[in-house]
Structure 1
Amino acid sequence: MNDHNNSIEVETAMTTTTMTMIQALRSAMDVMLERDDNVVVFGQDVGYFGGVFRCTEGLQGKYGSSRVFDAPISESGIIGVAVGMGAYGLRPVAEIQFADYVYPATDQIISEAARLRYRSAGQFTAPLTMRMPCGGGIYGGQTHSQSIEAVFTQVCGLRTVMPSNPYDAKGLLIASIENDDPVIFLEPKRLYNGPFDGHHDRPVTPWSKHPQAQVPDGYYTVPLDVAAIVRPGSAVTVLTYGTTVYVSQVAAEETGIDAEVIDLRSLWPLDLDTIVKSVKKTGRCVVVHEATRTCGFGAELVSLVQEHCFHHLEAPIERVTGWDTPYPHAQEWAYFPGPSRVGAALKRVMEV
């Protein structure tokens, strides 16, 4: 479904392996640990245990406990140490076990990491990558399922990234580690073991039935700040990211509407050129994300489209999001914006 032709660097004659997103993320860290001695990986249970989702499984055994190691249960401590490491020339990859747990570290992320380059007049940088599993899909309830991207997309000095497939996950993670800016790297848990059938609004399909993807074994990058058109179309533009990339494609297929689905990949900085070009072509726009509606990142997308494409719009912009409630546990699929809700929005904009 995805267009991978915009990778900026790929080693020649590279073999590929069928990988899940977990395996692709592990491969990215493996490649960078081997490639750059300044890369270190750490977080709660990241070392010996291999991470709660096994994303770092086997890396401590391969590279030693000085480069892949466990951290105390202190998110502020994890990020604070990572900022210091980055300022002294290392490239830390710090894992926050669940994105929901990041709030104690917001001072270190916003006041220290994001502002270090500005505050030091460019003398210091904070090249740290903060990996955070986010979103629903595991019946984790209100403290293990949040989508927190809007907390950080409005912070100057931060990059915010969210892949939707194994290929992009590896390429974007490598690009993030090599970047000199602090990166919030959000990983949709629902996609960890492969893309799914797109039907958010019903109980989770067993992960064993999900398809995987061919991922190059070695070094390659997917460019930051570049969106991907995963489904070309001419009738309406769908702006989305993460898990709802699949929901949006299924909705377009089930309704028969010729929707152009754009996977943002990098939420901020944003590939505004691709968005504007598409909306000016289609004249209609639907924004889809899993996070809550009010003050969600979709509100910024709507505002930008309105500012840059107002005279090209044929219908009001629609938003399809999670509800403005705490994330439910038992009725998780009722919270997700599934194909039926997205399809209804597509039909509404086409009726105008």
Structure 2
Amino acid sequence: MPRMTMIQAVRDAMDVAMGRDERVVVYGEDVGYFGGVFRATQGLQEKYGRHRCFDAPISESGIVGTAIGMAANGMRPCVEIQFADYMYPAYDQITQEAARIRYRSNADFTCPMVIRMPTGGGIFGGQTHSQSPEALFTHVAGQKVVVPCTPYDAKGLLIAAIEDPDPVIFLEPKRLYNGPFDGHYERPVTGWGKHPDGEVPEGYYTVPLGQAAVRREGREVTILAYGTMVHVALAAAEDTGIDAEVIDLRTLLPYDLEAITASVRKTGRCVILHEATLTSGFGAELAALVAEHCFYHLEAPIRRVAGWDTPYPHAQEWDYFPGPVRVGEALKQTMEA
């Protein structure tokens, strides 16, 4: 089985989808001739032509707005917002239009579109290139929110997202683009090409939306994570020696409640991990779900480990990120409670 980086897997997913369905179009800022700022679309314009992979003006609301019109009229656009931080001008189009078309039209129209966004920090991009805004999308009914953590999942989930009849927000962790982040280092240390999780099947396959994955089985405590933080959770479990079960949510909306509750009821403890700021982060929703559905199984308070409640601190980026030390402390405190 070939090995790929996450960037290559994302590109391969779009290639497969475009080859299978002529309704799929790919566009965004610098997406066509240049191949995207991270080269996720490199070669697609050359292969499929300028009418199916093309550059858009620097207008996020225009990119999303035109995609909504295309989707409502039978096409399947897969658009790129260059950084998740840039999506705010398009937030009205995403939440007020794309997410509501099915309901507002009594299902006369659907909106089968994907909005890809590189998310999170790790490239020293500063405050406007490093945010993790996933909670802003999980609050909105009518759309799905996906965050992969391996190349295999990135390809399978993206193909599934392109085929989905409703809008999908597809958040791609930048720290995972070119290699696995194992939590011990500030950058990928081996490259997905040498890492077992970098194995990606050729051709068509999908990973179901709304289905979590158990990345590490354990019996003492459950760690709920997604994206880059899955690798941090695995590193913390290894460092502490605690028998932690790591659940990779993969899809935040809809979330896999069955997988979450089954794990927490088994372990009796729960630590929630994400890169975004603590207050009103998606971890708060997860904590509420665990408390609501697993209260009588809990043997310790639920703990959250997250980014600071500050504007994104460029100069202190690696202190801001939850790392294995902070997560390990939370695991130990949970076990001692």
Confirm or deny a common fold (TM above 0.5). yes
Question: Does residue 94 in structure 1 map to residue 93 in structure 2?
Answer: no
SS in 1 for 2:3: strand
Could you tell me which amino acid in structure 2 is paired with residue 70 of structure 1?
D
SS in 1 for 2:296: helix
Give TM-score, length-normalised by structure 2: 0.98
Is 2:219–2:267's contact at 8 Å kept on the other side of the alignment?
yes
Structure 1 unmatched ranges of 5 or more:
1-15
Is 1:196–1:211's contact at 8 Å kept on the other side of the alignment?
no
Partner residue, 1:277: 262
SS in 1 for 2:315: coil
Question: Does residue 288 in structure 1 map to residue 273 in structure 2?
Answer: yes
Is 2:5–2:191's contact at 8 Å kept on the other side of the alignment?
no
Could you tell me how far apart the structure 1 residues matched to 2:77 and 2:191 are?
Answer: 32
Give TM-score, length-normalised by structure 1: 0.93
Deviations 1:25-84 (A, max 9, x none): 000000010000000000000000000000000000000000000000000000000000
Question: Does residue 171 in structure 1 map to residue 156 in structure 2?
Answer: yes
Cα drift, residue 206 of structure 1:
5.9
Q: Where in structure 2 are the equivalents of 1:29-178 lying within 5 Å?
A: 29-178=14-163
Partner residue, 1:25: 10
Residue of structure 2 aligned with 1:204, choices 187, 199, 202? 187
Partner residue, 1:255: 240
Residue of structure 2 aligned with 1:327, choices 302, 312, 325? 312
Is 2:3–2:192's contact at 8 Å kept on the other side of the alignment?
no
Structure 2 unmatched ranges of 5 or more:
none
Cα drift, residue 204 of structure 1:
3.4
SS in 1 for 2:127: helix
Residue of structure 2 aligned with 1:307, choices 252, 268, 292? 292
Could you tell me how far apart the structure 2 residues matched to 1:179 and 1:203 are?
Answer: 35
Partner residue, 1:238: 223
Cα drift, residue 340 of structure 1:
0.3
Is 1:19–1:166's contact at 8 Å kept on the other side of the alignment?
yes
Cα drift, residue 214 of structure 1:
1.1
Is 1:193–1:207's contact at 8 Å kept on the other side of the alignment?
no
Cα drift, residue 203 of structure 1:
3.9
Structure 1: 4+ residue segments shifted above 3 A: 202-212
Could you tell me which amino acid in structure 1 is paired with residue 69 of structure 2?
G
Could you tell me how far apart the structure 1 residues matched to 2:296 and 2:194 are?
Answer: 41
Q: Percent identity?
A: 68
Cα 1:207–1:254 shift into 2, 3 Å: closer
Cα drift, residue 207 of structure 1:
7.2
Deviations 1:220-271 (A, max 9, x none): 0000000000000000000000000000011001000000000000001010
Q: Work out the number of aligned pairs and report it.
A: 335
Partner residue, 1:13: none
Is 1:135–1:189's contact at 8 Å kept on the other side of the alignment?
yes
Is 1:240–1:289's contact at 8 Å kept on the other side of the alignment?
yes
Could you tell me which amino acid in structure 1 is paired with residue 30 of structure 2?
D
Return the structure number with greater relative CO, CA threshold 8 A, min gap 6: 1
Cα 1:33–1:209 shift into 2, 3 Å: closer
Cα drift, residue 209 of structure 1:
8.7
SS in 2 for 1:218: coil
Residue of structure 2 aligned with 1:189, choices 152, 155, 174? 174
Cα drift, residue 328 of structure 1:
1.7
Could you tell me which amino acid in structure 2 is paired with residue 69 of structure 1?
F
Could you tell me how far apart the structure 1 residues matched to 2:188 and 2:76 are?
Answer: 37
Could you tell me how far apart the structure 2 residues matched to 1:208 and 1:129 are?
Answer: 27
Is 2:148–2:172's contact at 8 Å kept on the other side of the alignment?
yes
Residue of structure 2 aligned with 1:264, choices 249, 268, 285? 249
Partner residue, 2:208: 223
Could you tell me how far apart the structure 2 residues matched to 1:197 and 1:274 are?
Answer: 23
Cα drift, residue 217 of structure 1:
1.3
